[in-house]
Amino acid sequence: MTTQAAHPPAPEDQLITELADLVFQVAGRLRQGFNAIAADLDLPPAQALALVNLRGPAPMRDLADLLACDASNVTGIVDGLERRGLVTRRTDPADRRVKHLVLTEEGQRRRDLLGAAAHARAAALFNVPQTDRRQLRDLLTAVAKHEQRLD
């Protein structure tokens, strides 16, 4: 058996690795900040994420799609939000099997607090010149659109 010396990655491969690492670092910082804000509002991260994704009455299956999780997981998340008085379940008049989630007044208040605090943290994280922020937005948009075409 012969061993070969590992070849250094090609410059383009190294660039891709660096880009992926940086995106994960930034996403991790955003997630850590969001989770800290959620904790300050006495919310587990999954409940906070569900809360910020509820814009209006929505079926529980839509929330499962937004959170990219199984509907059975959403039931536990929604149970917790309901116990806290942040959402209510309402039966869809057209299909009594479907439950719509509706934010309570307190749910709306906490969602707004969470959104405002998360925005402030993101603004601090992306504290670079406005032209750089726009360029980063445009580049990430192009990457996201390209990724959608690959799916």
pTM here is: 0.81
Residue 103 pLDDT class (50, 70, 90 cuts): very high
Residue 78 has pLDDT above 90, yes or no: yes
Q: Which carries the bigger pLDDT value, residue 12 or residue 144?
A: 144
**pLDDT at 55 (0 to 100):** 85
- One of 1.10.10.10, 2.40.50.140, 3.40.50.150, 3.90.470.20 is the CATH number of 28-150, namely 1.10.10.10
Mean pLDDT of the chain: 89
Average pLDDT over residues 126-145: 94
CA separation for the pair 109, 57 (Å, rounded): 16
Place of tokens 């309901």: 82
Residues in the chain: 151
Domain boundaries, given as residue ranges, for the chain: 28-150
CB 110, CB 47: distance < 8 Å:
no
Residue 82 has pLDDT above 70, yes or no: yes
**pLDDT at 7 (0 to 100):** 67
Place of tokens 């940086």: 22
Percent of the chain with pLDDT over 70: 91
**pLDDT at 19 (0 to 100):** 93
**pLDDT at 106 (0 to 100):** 96
Q: What is the CB-side half-sphere exposure of residue 51 using CA atoms within 13 A?
A: 33
